[in-house]
Structure 1
């Protein structure tokens, strides 16, 4: 059994007084009417030569109006003041040693004094503040055959959720997609809870639906969001939104089909090799990240339209050369409110964040003529009703 490392004060003592609780919102009294509308406002944030203008992950901290951006190559966190539109701090970390934090895959800035760091391979949390000082570490027990916490801000986003001295995180189960059956998949768990005192974990019985891939194989990747008194997830190859109101409840769902995706979403071709799998993942019609917008009490979801592969683009850059997509809005009852389509070659749909002003969507698509290598640029998309 792993425990809290001895050289630092107990991990949970730093963060326990700061934890919030799930918010529960009462159902809307009448249907809302909101649509996305691009504005003429663009946000520009300068980057240096060691930083791509496409972030490895963005996280907005509303209380401070700060934007946190990850740079995996440098194992660093860059912090931007959005009011002043400038970088105010960069925190670089060692991988190993007394000041090491492993490889940072994701972060969760609960407060400016309590920023959680997550890595890809080890079941360990690190707690820092905005000075970069390590405040605590926690080694926890990933369940057998399941991954460490999967916190990623640019791929099927699923931010951690804090409740008291417990943290709820997305996980991946270890298995081969080529041999997975529907009967096996529906027994797999999507999240587990970490006890921040002991490092123990337990499943919360949030599983895959029993009818996701009855006739073949699909990518079994989920994006999970909590808000409006619900825990909601969306899957790569399913139009529906799945949810529970309390952990352990029977799984419910709401229809959420995009107007731009076909009624039947494709399966992975039989006998697919690695290249076929990448084509299926990037170019077939599917859904990816969803998020909860606490300012308007909405859920948003990105739907990717079918696109033909471009043989001139290197395989390693297919994701950055994403095609047309749309953004769906769902109210707190998970009813579809509206959907807006965005053309190919103008926006980078994996780099975005939500503020009280609206949705900031990256314009750093490689094919966008306005794309500039020395700055991250975002267009403000407002919610209008």
Structure 2
């Protein structure tokens, strides 16, 4: 090998060693959080914290909530910081809607509202379009479950497949989980058919199925017909791909921070000491985020849930964990957040937060910025 070829050889080694993707990952690690407060004056009917909510993703982003005290849907404009609309729901008559467990705003003509067993579809003028009864439909299938929505598994509509993901809740007095049963289904609103998806309990539940409410599934906001799903107790995350009946594993974990509990009566120390993994959300084309509610030592003399701290995890486009941020203590709860316009919105609703006021709805707008 002559001297010229030798120089070329070492140059190629240098170029290959400087992997552009590695440089990109190093660059993106230099991140910080830009936190902007949002304070909205609320009237005598409003609340300072909401468990059931959705949003209207337009130029003027609107935070849309269900007020269980007034049985109404409220539209808060996050730009003007004002209540822009309130729709009072009826409890009786042809337009009656029961207690709301799930809420999703698709457009002004299609607002999806779930009350036990019923998918109500209304417009912003409260004209009722449809109200399919899921309990009646499920009776026609071999599998029997109750469709379930809560702050772990929120209501969403996927227009690309005209379907609503359902959480399949199999009730058992001993809080047991059946590993052979599908945990989610798709309800097609175009033909009123329900199709279970091949998503089952993940490890380490194969040998022990008593986990209390930690067995809940969590689901992300749909994007391009896709969505993410995981179990609250596990960081292992799967992606549902459009026009596919399979789930693709995108985040695996060598170690699952989960403590088995064979006695369902001890659910409280089990839940306090375990990590809760919230849903993975797409922040932008190259970044994904999720929150982890960290486990803490259990003390029977105090409410351990109020001691659990919140961590924001940031993943790159290949689902590699690239950054973690520990958020301020006693500020947020795990479930009160959503992603819109490449930003994270969190309600300030921790019971120990001294900023809480019954006259204001408080949120933080969080943006990831490069240093």
* TM-score interval, smaller chain: 0.7 to 0.9
Please list, as runs of the form range in 1=range in 2, the aligned pairs for 1:1-385 lying within 5 A after superposition. Answer: 31=25, 33=28, 37-39=32-34, 41-63=36-58, 64-119=60-115, 121-122=116-117, 124-140=118-134, 141-142=137-138, 144-148=143-147, 150-152=148-150, 155-164=151-160, 166-176=162-172, 178=174, 180=176, 184-185=178-179, 187-209=180-202, 211-215=204-208, 217-218=210-211, 219-225=214-220, 226-227=222-223, 230-245=226-241, 247-249=244-246, 251-255=248-252, 264-268=257-261, 270-273=262-265, 276-281=266-271, 283-309=272-298, 321=306, 323-356=308-341, 358-385=343-370
How far residue 380 of structure 1 moved from its aligned partner, in angstroms, is 2.2
The CA distance in 2 between the partners of 1:110 and 1:289, in whole Å, is 23
The CA distance in 2 between the partners of 1:234 and 1:295, in whole Å, is 20
The CA distance in 1 between the partners of 2:43 and 2:298, in whole Å, is 32
How far residue 210 of structure 1 moved from its aligned partner, in angstroms, is 5.5
1:186-205 residue CA offsets vs partner (Å, 9 max, x unmatched): x2212222232332212232
Q: Which runs of 5+ in 2 are unaligned?
A: 1-20
The CA distance in 1 between the partners of 2:161 and 2:247, in whole Å, is 25
How far residue 85 of structure 1 moved from its aligned partner, in angstroms, is 0.4
Rg bigger for which structure? Answer: 2
Change in CA separation of 1:211 and 1:310 when aligned onto 2, cut-off 3 Å: closer
Conserved? CA contact 1:158–1:170, under 8 Å: no
Which is bigger in relative contact order (C-alpha 8 A, separation at least 6)?
1
1:23-46 residue CA offsets vs partner (Å, 9 max, x unmatched): xxxxx9954725764435210122
State the match for 2:15 in structure 1. none
Deviates more, 1:236-245 or 1:70-79: 236-245
The CA distance in 1 between the partners of 2:281 and 2:236, in whole Å, is 16
How far residue 244 of structure 1 moved from its aligned partner, in angstroms, is 4.5
The CA distance in 2 between the partners of 1:375 and 1:200, in whole Å, is 43
Change in CA separation of 1:358 and 1:197 when aligned onto 2, cut-off 3 Å: closer
How far residue 230 of structure 1 moved from its aligned partner, in angstroms, is 4.9
How far residue 87 of structure 1 moved from its aligned partner, in angstroms, is 0.3
Conserved? CA contact 2:292–2:334, under 8 Å: no
1:227-259 residue CA offsets vs partner (Å, 9 max, x unmatched): 4775422222223223353533265352357xx
How far residue 118 of structure 1 moved from its aligned partner, in angstroms, is 0.9
Conserved? CA contact 1:285–1:306, under 8 Å: yes
The CA distance in 2 between the partners of 1:361 and 1:327, in whole Å, is 12
How far residue 215 of structure 1 moved from its aligned partner, in angstroms, is 4.6
Q: Which runs of 5+ in 1 are unaligned?
A: 1-27
Aligned length: 338
1:274-324 residue CA offsets vs partner (Å, 9 max, x unmatched): xx323433x1222242142354553322211123456676x7xx76x3621
| The structure with more helix, counted as a fraction of residues | 2
Change in CA separation of 1:127 and 1:244 when aligned onto 2, cut-off 3 Å: closer
Change in CA separation of 1:170 and 1:338 when aligned onto 2, cut-off 3 Å: farther
The CA distance in 2 between the partners of 1:117 and 1:372, in whole Å, is 28
State the match for 1:4 in structure 2. none
